[in-house]
Amino acid sequence: MNLFNAVAILLSLALGESFSPHHPTSSQVVRKNSAVTELASSAVDTSTTTVNNMPWTMNTEKYGEYDNDVQHVDWGFAYSSTPPNAVDSYIIDDVEGEIPSDLSGVTFYKAGPGNFQRDGRQYEHVLDGDGFVFAIKFQEDGSAKYTGRFVETEYFIEEQTEDKIKYRNVFGTQRDGGVLANAFDLTLKNVANTNVLQWGERLYAFWEAGRPYEMNPDTLETLRSVTEDGPLKGLGGIDCKVRGITIDEGGPIDNIVKAGKSFTAHPHVEDEDTLIGFKIETNAQTKFMTLEFTEYDSKWNEKKATSFSVKDSLPPHDFSVSKSYYSFFDNPYGEMDNMRYLIGLKAPTQIMQLALRQPTKVHVVPRSKGQDPVTVELDHSYFCIHLNGLSEEKDGKLYLYSTGWDLTDERFFPQSQDSAPFLGAWGGAYPDFTRGKVPPSLLYETVIDVEKGTVVSHEEVRPGIVIEFPTQEEDKPNMMYLAIAAEEYTSLPSSGLCRINTETREMETWWADNKQFTHEVVPVKKQNGQPGSWLLTPLYDAGKRRTTIAILDSEDFSSGPVCRLNLKHHVTYGLHGSFARQSQSVVSDSLPAL
């Protein structure tokens, strides 16, 4: 493999965020849980409407009702560009219910793509959208203040100033000028659209194929005077154009070609003095990928770093932390047509293939010295999207909870083939269920006996429940919150929320009103000795063309929001969020950004 081919493969590391809980169904589906194969019938009502031979569930009492035609912008509305009046700061005056008093001092942050076109040209994929961050600050007088702003990377400023697409993107958008303008251009635009987290009084917007961008926690202004410390330390120069790969591991060649490391978009908060992330580099000569798991104190000082290397792998999108281990899934990828990327015909993810006959690996890396890493294999192919940020160890076993795709599902991954396109039918303006090729995201429990180096089990927690965006309560890691789309493997946009106790497998649900779409839940632990958490989440209201910030009570989850903060506009269907608790302007707490 020559250097250009290696660079092409390694630049494919940006796996993207929002493989949400949306996707199709059929009359019968074969599921594989460990060694058990069961037949499950889908939730198909034969009297319902059929679009392109795909049966659609129209049970409005359970799932809600919407028009999937982008021209009528119900589901498509959630993915429309954030309007100009969202770049603003104001007190929210349309409040239903009462804002809980102990949220005073809390700021809720959310990141996602916010702009999808330049000079009238639509981006090829929503995950190429320019990063937008909004904040809801709960103030001492009981009010809530909204602030929204684009992450003003150097790429964003240049394209906005000229109103042109000037950079290649990971998911398909190519720079203006055709094939010749894109050929052998290895610089990929950092969209900074995946996650946002305040830690140590500093706020960062993250994207895993590049460097983080620091923002002012109050105004959301992107800071220009960046110092190379915190999550930027050890990534290479600020002006690096190619990240995630190295040739001589930060030596003179890397400095010449402007190559450097990347930082994960999924750092996880373990406690008030420990934030854990990882830096990514793949050596283009040796083909070894190295993850440097780094633990920071509350001031972004590095407490310790642990390196793990594996050959011929692509970096993970997410990872999990337990008392003794860092863990991540090594998703199975097939051969990629690197030349089509190099000569400017395709973007990195467009040349990626999922390997359907290759077992998925799980790497377990000890946090302490003196113990060797362990790698185990599942008995089939599985694609992990997200992991629970904080995992548990019980009786000598490690318990991981992940959302992902079953690559043995014949409906979406024909087993007569060795591989399948990475994104399936998900591309364009929004994830489109009508084509029936985007697989359902399901919640799995994977139990690993670390000492024996074996997989005890890998099975669905609630079979058939289509869900995504797992988060956990701060002091109850077994209580998991997810956006739910439907039951019985039915693929739809998420229009409800659910809470699952991973120990008992009990599940509670709450369904939003018609034409409202749900997303990730951010739990904020209650203060003053109160039990439970306040649950913050956006609702994308296509009926009223706005975004609402809903607040639920974990102690009465199924009753739905106790308060709704209705914005004056909508913000685009986002990716990930977090919260910061401030006391006398000092950040004292934060939530795992799952």
**Binding site membership: which residues?**
266, 317, 386, 576
Cross-strand bridge partners of residue 570: none
- The total number of residues shown for the chain amounts to 594
Q: How far apart are CA 405 and CA 385, in angstroms?
A: 8
Instruction: Tell me the three-class secondary structure of 290-356, residue by residue.
Output: EEEEEEECCCCCEEEEEEEEEECCCCCCCCEECCCEEEEEECCECCCCHHHHHCCCCCHHHHCEEEC
Cross-strand bridge partners of residue 182: none
Of 285, 278, 224, nearest to 259 (Cα)? Answer: 285
The number of CA neighbours under 13 Å toward the Cβ of 567 is 29
Cross-strand bridge partners of residue 534: 524, 553
Q: E strands, 11-143, where?
A: 28-33, 36-41, 50-51, 54-55, 89-91, 95-97, 106-115, 117-118, 121-122, 130-138
Q: Supply φ then ψ for residue 31, to 5 degrees.
A: -110, 150
Of 253, 177, 373, nearest to 3 (Cα)? Answer: 253
Q: How far apart are CA 30 and CA 592, in angstroms?
A: 34
> Is-contact 389 268, C-beta < 8 A?
yes
User: Checking DSSP bridges between strand 454-460 and strand 442-449, what pairing results, if any?
Assistant: antiparallel
What letters, b where the CB count within 10 A reaches 16 and e where it falls short, cover 117-140?
A: ebeeeebbbbbbbbbbbbbbbbee
Of 162, 176, 224, 215, nearest to 193 (Cα)? Answer: 215
Neighbours of 550 (CB within 10 A): 25
Question: Cα dihedral angle (415, 421, 426, 432), rounded to 10 degrees?
Answer: -40
Q: Which amino acid is at 582?
A: Q
Three-point CA angle 24, 442, 517, nearest 5° = 65
Dig out the tokens for 169 from the structure.
Answer: 């993107």
Binding positions for Fe cation are 266, 317, 386, 576
Element (H, E) at 485: strand 476-486
Q: How far apart are CA 306 and CA 320, in angstroms?
A: 14
Cross-strand bridge partners of residue 96: 564
Residue pointed to by tokens 């632990």: 525
Residue pointed to by tokens 């105004």: 219
> Is-contact 133 102, C-beta < 8 A?
no
CA 248 to centroid of chain Cα atoms:
30
